[in-house]
Every structure is written in structure tokens, then in C-alpha cells.
Structure 1
Amino acid sequence: MTQAFDAPAQQQLLETRAEEALALAKQLGADACEVGASVDQGVGVSVRLGEVETVELSRDQGIAVTVYVGMRKGSASSTDAGQASIRAAVEKAMAIARYTGEDPAAGLADAALMATDFPDLNVHHPWELSTEQAIEIALACESAGRGVEGITHSEGASLSTGEGVRVYANSHGFLGSQKGSRHSLSCMLIAQDGSGMQRDYDYTSARDPRQLQDPEAVGRQAAERTLRRLGGRRPRTGRFPVLFDPSLAAGLVGNLMGALAGGALYRQASFLCDRLGDPLFPDWFSLSERPMEVGAMASSPFDNEGVQTRNNCFIDRGRLESYMLSSYSARRLEMQTTGNAGGARNLRISAPLSAPQDLLQKMGRGVWVTELMGQGVNGVTGDYSRGATGFWVEDGKVQYPIEEFTIAGNLEQMFSGLVGIGNDTDTRGSIHTGSWLIDEMTVAGDQETR
């Protein structure tokens, strides 16, 4: 293992370096300055076919300095938190600021918005795990998956564990810091039959290692997901209801938030420009963030500008209630920051939930999508087109696996055509959602529907 990570000592060091950078920037003539610093340490192991493949010990550190001279901005960064490196970064940022153009929207977030409430959000859970123990867990995970009848090969299992500290300070006098941890275990397996080879995977992720799934369970679930893909065929071409697996439904939420982001809005690069108050979803659907949720994956009391985070409602009973803004994008749009510099934190859906089988019954005939490929999402128009694999559904029942097809639609139409959400909520990331059933999309497969 790497040298033990002393989080309190690292936190104190980064806070000291941030204050030194602020003082130096002021001394050199900056009107304002902000500093972000972080250090992370972890271990990752991967095994394959019962043998150790890699052991990676990592330690990453960085400090970024931004200075403001009038309405001019300069930024510089370093991977070294030593005093000499920080001085060099501040001096470089000052030199850059002297040559950049003036930007009336540039500057720190308003001082009155700085965070003052710093509760313990229970997001730091170090895992005292030796390299040998990490290898044993990964081997147990892969072995359980390989032991399932029908599995013919393995891409291996991987375990990673890490913790870190982040600090943000600015010349308003704000100084905030937070310790955090993240741990994960994954397994990818291969099966083969007369129609060819298939692969799939499963994983578990949590801030607290005690909340990780049992390694053997992850391996077995990876095997089950792989085996169910055998015998895949191309589906018919036509327009059908589409059921998105929970992890893919989270991606649709991500597409929505990308369109609500201030940067896309002030550049006029979003299909949701000037749409506040408009209905986008059915009136039973609401979406909000919970940045102060204890123990959650993206919890933080302050955003990347030091602004106090808050519960924001982005979709309220189907209507677009709020954009996702930093101070800079808010100024460009002549609005107010929503405390979202750095993005949304812990997105949660409020809606009636149905059992996945009930959604299949409601679908009747259509496509259940379990994997997407490609990046065919146009944030300007909302057009959506992705390669996919999944299952064909008839009379509300899964019939056979399908592959090598494309699903296409438009995000706005897909959102308004949301029929139901499953209670199979995926809680492994910062977006919690179950399956999404969309009323109709174009499925491009092998043959025309009769």
C-alpha cells in the first residue's frame, strides 16, 4: 500500500497554501483571487482469470489560482503545492490577466452568498485495506462470476479505493474544505454460444466500504447479465415504446442537466433556452437536487465558488422551474447563481414508481434497452440517436435479446412522452432513478414492422 493518507494534515497544509496564494496575489496587485486545491490518494487492483494483472498506487495533487485585475482574469495551476510552485502559479496568473480582454461578467461570486453552514455530511470513510486484501476481494468477485455455468471467459475484476481533500478559498475571506472517499468493485465476463460471444459487467460503488455489495454477488450478477445476452438478434425497424434501464435513465437526466447548464444557455447552445416555466415532463414528475444529503455521493455544503449549496428544484410538476447556474453564467444571463458552480449535486426524482414488470406490461410491445453506445446527443436541437442493445418485449414479456440497432428521438419529445418510472432505483451514483418508459421512439433494426 501507499503511505498512510493523513487527511487532517493534508487539509491543514492545503488551507495554509491557499491562504499564502491569496496573500501573494493581493501583494502583487490583484483586486481579487480564488484558489482551489486538492489531493487524492488511492490503490487499484485488477485480476483476470485468477491472476493479478495490475496493482496501481496513485497520488494526485493540484492547485489552481485565478486572479482578477479589474475586469481581466488570469488563471494558472500546478501539480505541486510547494511554496515555490504556488508563487510561480500566482505570478503566471497575474501575467496572463494583464493581457486578457475585459469581461464584465468575470469576478468572484457575491460575498453575501458565501457558505456559512458546514455540517458533517458523513462522506469520508477511509478503507484500511492492504494490497493483499484488495486482491483477495477482486479474486473472490471474479471467481464467483466464472463459477456460473455458461461463462466461458473473463475480462477480469477490479477494485479501487481512495480518499482525498479539497479546499477552496477566495479573497472575500472564505475558506472551505472537505474530506471525502470513494470505493468501487467491478467485474466483466464473457459467454459464448453458436451465435457468438457476449460480454457484460456489474459493479458496486459507495463512499463507505461497508455499503458495497458482497463481492460474490457482484460477480454472479455480472455473469447473469452476460448470459442473458446470448442469442442476440437484430430487432424490427419501426416506432415502439422504449424502456431505459436505470443506469441509462440516469444518462437522460444528465442530458437534461446539460441543457439546463448556464454555459450552454448563454452561448445559445441549448434547446431549453428561454424556456423557464414551460411544461417539459408529465405533471407527476419533479426533479431536484439535495446537496446536503448525508452520506451521498455528491454532497457538499459549498459549490466551486464557495457559494452555499441549497436544495434546487429544476423540474416542478413537469414544468421547467430553474436553470443550473454559476455566478459567471448567471451574470451573462442577467440572473442569479443557483449555487451550481461545478454542477448539480445528488439529483433526486419525485414521481409515482412502478415495478419494472408493470412497466413492461404497460409497454406491451417494444424495446428494453440495457446498453447504449456512441455520443449521438445534440444539445442544441435535442436530437437523440444512440446505438443500443437490450431485449425485445411482446405482450409485456421479454422474448429474446437484441443487438446492433439504433434508437432515435428528440429529448423534448422523450421527456414529454415519459410514461412511467420504475422502483428499481439505482443508487450507485449521484443521480438516483429507476427505469424510464418512453411512449415512442424510432428503432432502426433489421426489417420493417409488419
Structure 2
Amino acid sequence: MSDQGFSFTQAQLAEIATDILKHAKQGGASACETDVSEGFGQSVAVRRSEVDTIEYNRDKGVGVTVYLGQQRGYASTSDFSKKALQATVDAALSIARFTAPDPCAGLADAALMARAQDMPDLDLFHPWKIDIDTAIELARRCEDAAFAVSPKIRNSEGANTSIQQSHFVSANSHGFLGGYATTRHGLSCSVIAGDSDDSDDSDGMQREFWYDSRRDPAELMAAEEIGRIAGERAIARLGARQIRTCEVPVIFEAPLAVSLLGNFTQAVSGGSLYRKSSFLLDSLGQSVFSPVVSISERPHLKKAFGSSPFDSDGVATRDREVVIDGVLQGYFLSAYSARKLGMQTTANAGGSHNLRVKPGAQDLAGLIRQMDRGLLVTELLGHGVNYVTGDYSRGAAGFWVEKGRIKHAVEEVTIAGNLRDMFRGIVAVGNDALPRGAKMCGSLLIDNMKVAGR
């Protein structure tokens, strides 16, 4: 076992990948690409100061894609023995022989492959060397801080300490070989508030949570801070009620605003575009957002969750502007989807890399004052998004705002609109983005949505 806790070193993963490429070539493959990975972690959950669960995970896997001209086959295994690896390559070759040719199949262009000089150290690996007792104590401190907020915190759904680390190597027949190690750690807390002294009385109870997640555990919020925020959010939800159906401005709080960024990414990704299943077809060069919105992609940010020197095709990543003043500058394309569309890959095989929405001048309180009257959404329920039409309808909860101030909590409402109109109706972007994911966006103020209540 390596000194980083892995069962295999990076050099050993690279050797496995190289052997796979050799065997595929010997088997008649015109090209091959492979990913070899290993990861492990632990998670500790505490509920009402008692240890609820302790979980460990350790996984490894190999994925092999072979090409016989334009015929493609894929197979995978979790067995790293030479015999199993050869059998996996042979299985992929067998599948390819019985697959219809696809004129768009094949590796990305060799000239686009990331090279050694394109692979800076992005500082993504920060092991958290704490024992189980320390992890349990952190979770307890987090939960205790939530209960300390108010006697109205009646119950807990638990606090959690999570530690994960992994590494991988990708390689293909163009001579590309690259890989690195990553970590992801987190603390979370979920509690229940109520006005009743009976913790089993569900009437009027409100659940809320908070969490933080980072590559580097030294940058995690303090356990007590996470618990305090979870408790305060739960207390703020007490007295929630429905409102009458209306059409008003809506603010998506920062943790939820990133879901709209995800909706946009899905709509302008290659798979949706070449299948013609997107409401943003043929939107390149057009205004898809209001002019206050600009979105950048920054793949090389240190310690960020979406950072990578190359995509899943091995193509070198680069900084780019996806949206400038509301105008769409580029799609999210892999080598395959780019060929389907007659375009060039944007190095987004496997997804986007650190999307950042340019922040505005105001924090959430400022957006609330600017909205004056409307709904602040802090929770979304369901998955009511139609990417073909852009229609959007989801259950929601949050707070009713009057005269620029929160008046009372709101529950059991539905917000509805069309994503095309919602994107163009963004009035302001907050400066309160949270650095706990691969997408960062401050709270968003949208000029008008339908809120269905009583």
C-alpha cells in the first residue's frame, strides 16, 4: 500500500493502462482508450450525540473502450489481475465486432491531446488524516452547536463527517497518459425545529440543514459554524404557511441558483443539441441571458472541484468565456458530440470545469431590498424541468418578502415559468456564491415567476 493510503501507486495505475493499450492493439483494435481508478473513504454519522453509522468504502475499476475503425466496444472490470484485464479488453473487442459503424466514433484528434506541459499541479489532493474518534467528535460538535441555537431545536436528523480520496490514470492510443489524485471532505448537519415540546409531534415542525465541502480540510467551515447555521435556518422556517397564487419576482438563494446554472449547462451540452432535445438549439451568438449575466469556465483553479488539465477524452482544457453580457459564446462539447454537430470539441467530455457566474455588487440582503416584494426560495422539490420546451415547475419553500424585508416563512408552493424567460429575466446576481462545488453562482433575482399557492 502506498504512503497515501492507496493500494496502488500512480506508476502502477499507469502500467496497467499501458498494458491494456498494448493488449488492445495486439487484439486488432485500431484505437483504444482506458481509465484506471481507485478510491476510498469513510463517513461517520451522529444523531443526538450517539453514533448512528460508520461506513467505509474502497473501490477500484478499469474501463476500456476499443475501436475497430468506426465500430466501438466498451467493457469494465474491478479485477486488476492480468488475466481479468486481458479478458476485459477481449470483451470490448467482441462487442465492437458486433456494433454498427458510427461515423462520429473514435478518439479525439491527436493534436488536441494534453501534453505534460499542459498538466500543472492543481493542488487537488489533501488527505484528511483523522481517526474515527476525531470524526465522531467533529460531528457531535456540529450537532451540539445546532441544538444550542434555541430550545426550539427539537430533534436531529444527524451530523456527518465525510472523508474521500481517489486517484486515476487515463491513457489512449495517441500516446496520451495523464492522471492525478483528488480529495473531497465534508461536514453537514440537519436538524428539526418546532414550537411544540413534543418532538414526536410533526405539526409545525421544520427541517433545515447546512454543509460545507472542500478539497482541503483546513478550509472547511468550523463544525460549530455549520451547526449554528443549520439551527438558525430551521428556526427561521417556523410558522411557514402557504401564500395566495400570484406572479411576483423570485430570488433563488445561492445554493439553489447553481441548479439553474446546471439547467443551462444541460441545455447547451452536445448530447442535448445533437439529439435536438434542448430549448436552446442554435443559440450560439444569441442572447440567452439578460445582459447582467456573464459565465466563465476556469479549469485550472487550484483546489477547485471542477479543475482538471484534460477532459475525459484527454483533450487539454483551457479558460474560456461561455456567456458574455448574456450572449452565448460556446457550447459544452466532447469529441463525439462535436463531430455530430460538425464543430470542434470544447474539452468538455465528462462535463464542465469550474463554471463561475460573474457576481454583482449586492449580497442576498441587498437583493431582497431590491426585490421589495416577492418570494425568496431556499428549498426546491421535485424535478419538473422539460429541456425540450424549457418549461419549469418545481415545488418550493422559502420566505415571503414585503417592503424589502422577510415577513414570514413560506411552504407548499409551486414556482413555474420557462427557463428561456427566466434566464432573460435575471435582474441581478448576488455576490454570495458558496465555494463548495464545481459551479459557483450567487443568489439570482428573477423579475417574474408564477407562484401557485392556495
Taking only aligned residues, the RMSD between alpha carbons, in angstroms, comes to 1.3
Indicate yes or no: 2:296 matched with 1:297.
Answer: no
Q: Which residue of 2 aligns with 1:132?
A: 133
User: Residue by residue, what CA displacement relative to the aligned partner does 1:383-438 show, whole Å, maximum 9, x if unpaired?
Assistant: 10000000001111100000000000000100100000111111111111110000
Maintained 8 Å contact 2:184/2:214: yes
Q: Which residue of 2 aligns with 1:102?
A: 101
**Deviation larger for 76-85 or 391-400:** 76-85
**Counterpart amino acid of residue 147 in structure 1:** A
Distance 1:356 1:139 in 2: 30
Q: How does 1:338-377 map to 2 (within 5 A)?
A: 338-377=346-385
Indicate yes or no: 2:255 matched with 1:254.
Answer: no
Unaligned 5+ residue runs, structure 1? none
**Counterpart amino acid of residue 152 in structure 1:** R
Alpha-carbon shift at residue 361 of structure 1 (Å): 1.7
Alpha-carbon shift at residue 341 of structure 1 (Å): 0.4
Q: Secondary structure at the match of 2:194?
A: strand
Q: Which residue of 2 aligns with 1:182?
A: 184
Q: 2:451 aligns with which of 412, 428, 443?
A: 443
User: Residue by residue, what CA displacement relative to the aligned partner does 1:239-286 show, whole Å, maximum 9, x if unpaired?
Assistant: 000000001100000000000110000000011111111111122321
**Counterpart amino acid of residue 227 in structure 1:** I
Maintained 8 Å contact 2:135/2:161: yes
Alpha-carbon shift at residue 70 of structure 1 (Å): 1.1
Alpha-carbon shift at residue 352 of structure 1 (Å): 2.7
Q: Which residue of 2 aligns with 1:72?
A: 71
Q: Which residue of 1 aligns with 2:49?
A: 50
Maintained 8 Å contact 1:10/1:39: no
Alpha-carbon shift at residue 237 of structure 1 (Å): 0.3
Q: How many residues align?
A: 445
Maintained 8 Å contact 2:253/2:364: no
**Counterpart amino acid of residue 170 in structure 1:** N
Unaligned 5+ residue runs, structure 2? 197-202
Q: Which residue of 1 aligns with 2:20?
A: 21
Distance 1:363 1:48 in 2: 39
Maintained 8 Å contact 1:7/1:179: no
Maintained 8 Å contact 1:281/1:416: yes
Distance 1:67 1:197 in 2: 55
Q: Secondary structure at the match of 1:354?
A: coil
Distance 2:365 2:186 in 1: 29
Q: How does 1:220-235 map to 2 (within 5 A)?
A: 220-235=228-243
Alpha-carbon shift at residue 214 of structure 1 (Å): 0.4
Q: 2:173 aligns with which of 171, 174, 178?
A: 171
Maintained 8 Å contact 2:139/2:223: yes
Alpha-carbon shift at residue 7 of structure 1 (Å): 4.8
Alpha-carbon shift at residue 355 of structure 1 (Å): 2.4
Distance 1:180 1:142 in 2: 28
Q: 1:157 aligns with which of 124, 142, 159?
A: 159
Maintained 8 Å contact 2:2/2:8: no
Distance 2:157 2:233 in 1: 14
Aligned-pair identity (%): 50
Q: How does 1:78-89 map to 2 (within 5 A)?
A: 78-89=77-88
Q: Secondary structure at the match of 1:353?
A: coil
Q: Which residue of 2 aligns with 1:39?
A: 38
Alpha-carbon shift at residue 336 of structure 1 (Å): 0.3
Alpha-carbon shift at residue 8 of structure 1 (Å): 9.4
Q: Which residue of 1 aligns with 2:121?
A: 120
**Deviation larger for 94-103 or 9-18:** 9-18
**Counterpart amino acid of residue 284 in structure 2:** L
Distance 2:320 2:79 in 1: 36
Maintained 8 Å contact 1:5/1:41: no
Q: Secondary structure at the match of 2:245?
A: strand
Distance 1:79 1:414 in 2: 44
Distance 1:121 1:396 in 2: 42
Alpha-carbon shift at residue 356 of structure 1 (Å): 1.8
TM (normalized to structure 2)? 0.96
